[in-house]
Structure 1
């Protein structure tokens, strides 16, 4: 794609040196009907036999994969290919099909909460909020210093709507088009701790915000801080959680590489003494809503100018912003080509709707999504 827009901020040599890891969440469906199957424990057992560690999620029709810790975002590609392929094989052995969608096309039956003490407690405390199934992609970037992590989060906040639009993959839920490219984000927003993070001046201020959520019963434990980017409660990382699970491995690699470059660029800006843009919480929330509504197919909001901008232009501005880091990583060409493909063919949301627009059925949408889930993946079952 042609990168046009504001001048890029130069980086410094060596800024891109953090670790990176990715978690992906998937829906398990019946191979024939496409309806969710509540068999995550069976799939996890089959995965164990195949040599992959899968984990449960809130609903019994979900599983999660995780890569190892990597030192370069491009190292993720083969790991993601293998994890998706082996997870798909584990699902097949358990009588299921693995699908990368932000929300299931059909809703699971009642009582689908995974039977662990934590998830059962969440379901009891939050009621109907816990019923909606959502599948995201979480990118972890290693940051040891918590005050530095807060500064980086502040620099990332304006780019969250663009990452959201790029990865939108959930227009259909409960058997109908919701009118949103990213229904997962709207469904996720029902949780009281979800949405853009506050702009904090220090780790102490960040921790005080978390403590207030705990003290008021808004969250039950620190892992329930569901901000779109947060300091991980379990790892020395910041965790970018704004994205749907992308439709393909290549889209996940592109997302992870862009996030890695944004963090490296933010680190360089901080080291030069540059303050993060001041973006109000209400405006940022509005920009994320617009990104969820239109995805790549319409207009977004530039959080810094508060002006409507075509989503494609926001993607170009993002590429300009991270271009110097991508060059340092020797990843500019691969990211540029991947973005060109996504903009030409459409992301998950666009392709799901295109099938329906051409007379396809909901089961056709699910079958296509399942194929794209393992596109380019070769299982290593040795």
Structure 2
């Protein structure tokens, strides 16, 4: 039986003159809904939107869906005088504050986290793998936890923030790390324990909604999936697809181990957060490359079962030769001599499948 996958991609809306983000999300989404329906929505900040694929049976279908969604969203953005950009953080500084969407949940977040959200402008990649049993999904999450820093490293696409080179590969991951309920989930021996931990964090007012934790792996509260949320949005569609099928193989492998009675490893949470930080700083590195080789060895039977070996191998080859999105952004900056050129390259790559 084929396990379906789906992807959510968040994008910035960019002023084509200043190359800064522009708060036209509601207008662009309203224009896009006519052709995209529920597959496009607004996001936390008004300078963003999100596209969502339907469940896809294989990599080819996922690639087609993503290309169509990006093209439709880019067309809607252009109709409103802005451009679509896939980067984990805004590259060029904007003059005023980033405006938050008028949604009860977003307003509650501002009330709860206050100034922590003043510069919270990030774009993520979320991948869903069909797994309807929430109890199993929690235990699968235990198996995925140790690999989450590697996913940060492989997807890193946010070296610049507001016209500054941060020195990091994923400044988005650093931005998220300051929140008490973002990042790796706690180890939980059962769905009940998973919820008890969430309840305790919510009682401390560090989580908005116990039913919708923002951990980087979670049983999705509304869909029959396990959702992985650790990654920067990637500019290249092929990278997005490769990460999605790799995650499907990871989930399939972990599910077999859970069914066999293995509740998953228990790496120290403090050490796990430290490796997150290292991955955010360094991105694709010799350490990450070695970890990736070990991961592929672990999940090779699942990759073979779904016919995804070549896709993932090609992805790793791109990382070895060209680096992550962060490497490519810095190479673009060196080539152009200014960050506006980086934004132009990102816009072109976001809308076009190369």
Alignment partner of 1:42 out of 27, 39, 42: 27
Distance 1:152 1:258 in 2: 15
SS of residue matched to 2:36: coil
For residues 260-306 of structure 1, the C-alpha deviation after alignment (integer angstroms, 9 at most, x for no partner) is 0000011122233334222111111111110000001x35xxxxxxx
Structure 2 residue aligned with 1:28? 13
> Is 1:135 matched up with 2:135?
no
Distance 2:303 2:98 in 1: 46
Equivalent residue number for residue 118 of structure 1:
105
Q: Pick closer, same or farther for the CA change 1:51–1:247 going to 2, 3 Å.
A: closer
Q: Is the 8 A contact 2:146 2:267 kept in 1?
A: yes
Separation of aligned partners in 1, 2:229 and 2:345: 25
Structure with greater helix percent: 2
Decide whether the 8 Å contact of 1:247 with 1:347 is kept in 2. Answer: no
1:50 match: secondary structure: helix
Segments of 5+ residues of structure 1 without an aligned counterpart are: 1-13, 300-309, 378-382
1:311 to 288, 291, 302: 288
CA distance in 1, matches of 2:348, 2:196: 45
Report the counterpart of residue 92 of structure 1 in structure 2: 78
Q: Relative to structure 2, which stretch is displaced further, 176-185 or 64-73?
A: 64-73
Please state how far the C-alpha of 1:359 moved relative to its aligned partner. 5.0
**What TM-score does the superposition give when structure 1 sets the normalisation length?**
0.88
Paired with 2:296 and 2:334, the residues of 1 have a C-alpha distance of 31
CA offsets per residue over residues 121-162 of structure 1, 9 Å max, x none? 211221122221010011111222222111100111111111
TM-score (norm 2): 0.95
Deviation at 1:374, TM superposition (A): 2.1
Q: Residues 223 and 78 (structure 1 numbering): CA distance in 2 closer, same or farther, change over 3 Å?
A: farther
Tell me the distance in 2 between the aligned counterparts of 1:107 and 1:220.
Answer: 29
In the alignment, which residue of structure 2 is the partner of 1:75?
61
1:306 aligned partner: none
1:151 and 2:128 are equivalent in the alignment: no
Structure 2 regions of 5+ residues with no counterpart? none
Contact kept, 8 Å, 1:73 with 1:260, in 2: the verdict is no
Does structure 2 retain, via aligned residues, the 8 Å contact 1:30–1:36? yes
Deviation string, structure 1 residues 220-277 (Cα, Å, up to 9, x no partner): 2236522111122222221100000011110100110110000001112223333422
Deviations 1:282-333 (A, max 9, x none): 111111110000001x35xxxxxxxxxx222222222222211111111111
RMSD, aligned CA: 1.6
- State the alpha-carbon separation in 1 of the partners of residues 125 and 305 from structure 2: 25
How many residues in Structure 1 have an aligned counterpart in Structure 2?
351
Contact in 2 for aligned 1:25/1:65 (Cα 8 Å): yes
1:357 aligns with 2:342: no
